[in-house]
Copies of this chain bind each other. A is one copy, B any other.
Amino acid sequence: MEKVRLGIVGLGAQGGLYAGFLADGKVENMVIGAICDIDPAKKEWAAEKYPDVPFYEDYRDMLDSGDVDAVVTCVPHYLHPEIGVEALKREIHALVEKPAGVYTKQVRELNDYAAKKPHLTFGIVFNQRTNPLYQKVKEIIDNGEVGQIRRTNWMITTWWRPQGYYDSSAWRATWGEEGGGVLVNQAPHQLDLLQWICGMPEKVYSNVKYGYQRNIAVEDEVTALLDYGNGATGVFITCTHDVIGTDRFEILGDKGKIVVDDSKKVTIKRLLKPESELSDSMSMQDVMKIFMGGNQSDIYTEEVLEFESEWGAQHIAVLENFTAAIVEGTPLLAPGSDGIHGVTLANAIHLSSWLDKEIEIAFDEELYLAELNKRIDEEKTAPVTF
C-alpha cells in the first residue's frame, strides 16, 4: 500500500476538517479516498471543493466501492459502532470518532467484532492523548513518581454552550439522536484521559441535572463521585453553563501530587519520602516546625511545566498515528477498543442519577439500554436499536 485512502463518513465540521488536512497534504501517507454524506448540500459543496474525490450517499456503497482502505466516522454518536463493524467486515480499517458509541452494549459489539480482525487497524479519535501535557502526566503516574493514587479530582467546565447552540440542530441534546448531553458530547476526552492516566473506578455515584440551565432533555450539569475500590476516591465535575470555565485536575498520590491548571500548566510536587514514612517517623512537634516555621522544601520538591496548546495538530497526529499503524504496524496511541471505558463512565454516571444509587462499574448493560430507551420514548422518537 502506497498511501492509505481514507473514506470520510459525514462531511460536517469534523469531517470537513479532516478533508482539509488531507487535501493540504498535512498527513503523511494518507489521502482522501472518498467522501460520504446523506445531505445533498454537502454533496454540492464536496463537488465544488473536491471535484476529483468520489462521493457516496450511502456509506455501505462507499465501503463496497474499492475506493477506500480506511474510514473515519464523523456522524452522530449512535452510528459509530455500526459503521465501524461494517468497515471491518469488508477488511477496511476503522477510525471511530469519540465517543465510541452512546451505550456500552453497542460499543462492546464493535470491540468484539474488531477482536476477530486483529490484522485490521481499529482506532479512536482521542486526540487529547497526543497532547504532550497529558502524556507527561501519564508518564509520571505510570513511573510511580507520585506513588499510588489516593484521590483524583477533575473540574472541567470550559465548554460553555449557549441555548442557541442547542437550538441549532434538532438532533442536538436529545436522547434519541445524540444520546446525552455534556457527558457524550463535550466530556468524552476528559473521561478518557482520566481513566487512561488514573485507571477505572469500581463504583460511581452521581448527581446529574438534566436541562438545569438550558432548555434541553439531556444533562448540562454533572458531579460524579468515583470509588476506585482500593481506598482511592475521585470527583469529576462538568457542565456547559459556566461561561468562566474552570479546568483543574488534581491527583494525590502517596508520594506526591500533580495539579494541572487549564490543560496548560502542570505542577508536580514529589515527596522526598513516601507519606506513610513521614507519618510513621514524625512527631507533632516536627510537624509544627515544618508548617509553622514554613520550610516545606524539607519534605518535597516542586516542578512546574508549561505547555502550549495546539488543537489542530492533535487531530493531524491522530491521523498520522492511525496511518503509521496501518502501514508500519506502529502501536496505536488510542486503540479503538479503549473507547468503551469513557462510554462506561458516562453510562454509569447517567445510571446512578437515574436509579439514585451508587453503581458498580460492571453495571447491567441491558438495564442501561432499557433506561435510555425510556427517555427516548419520552421524547417520542424512534427506539435506540435500529
Contact = CB atoms under 8 A, between A and B. Distances in A.
Nearest to A214: B279
Interface stretch (A101-109, A124-132, A163-171): A163-171
B155 A250 contact: yes
Given A225-B205, A256-B244, A357-B357, A279 B213 contact: yes
Contacts of A225: 205, 207, 223, 225
A275 B213 contact: yes
Interface stretch (A78-86, A233-241, A333-341): A233-241
Interface stretch (A133-141, A175-183, A188-196, A282-290): A282-290
Contact of A163 (B161, B162, B227, B280): B280
Nearest to A222: B233
A221 B256 CA distance: 17
A287 B162 contact: yes
Interface majority SS (helix, strand, loop, mixed), chain A = mixed
Interface of A: 150-151, 153, 155, 157, 160-165, 168, 205, 207, 209, 212-214, 221, 223, 225, 227, 231, 233, 235, 237, 239, 241-244, 246, 248, 250, 252, 254, 256-257, 259, 269, 271, 275-276, 278-284, 286-287, 291, 296, 299-300, 356-358
Given A162-B287, A213-B276, A214-B279, 9 more contacts: A150-B242, A151-B223, A151-B239, A162-B278, A164-B282, A207-B225, A221-B233, A242-B275, A243-B300
B279 A162 contact: yes
A243 B153 contact: no
Contacts of A269: 244
Contacts of A287: 160-162, 165
A356 B254 CA distance: 26
A299 to B, nearest CB: 6
A228 to B, nearest CB: 10
B241 A279 contact: yes
A322 to B, nearest CB: 26
A276 to B, nearest CB: 7
A183 to B, nearest CB: 15
Central interface residue in A168, A243, A291, A357, by most chain B CB within 10 Å: A243
B241 A212 contact: no
What are the 4 tightest A-B residue pairs by CB atom distance, in nearest-first order?
A: A162-B279, A162-B282, A165-B284, A164-B283
Contact of A252 (B242, B283, B284, B291): B242
Nearest to A274: B243
A233 B214 contact: no
Contacts of A279: 162-164, 213-214, 241
Nearest to A287: B162
B357 A243 contact: no
A244 to B, nearest CB: 5
A3 to B, nearest CB: 32
Given A164-B283, A299-B243, A233 B257 contact: no
Nearest to A246: B250
A180 B250 CA distance: 27
Nearest to A241: B275
B207 A237 contact: no
A37 B3 CA distance: 86
A278 to B, nearest CB: 6
A257 B246 CA distance: 10
A179 to B, nearest CB: 20
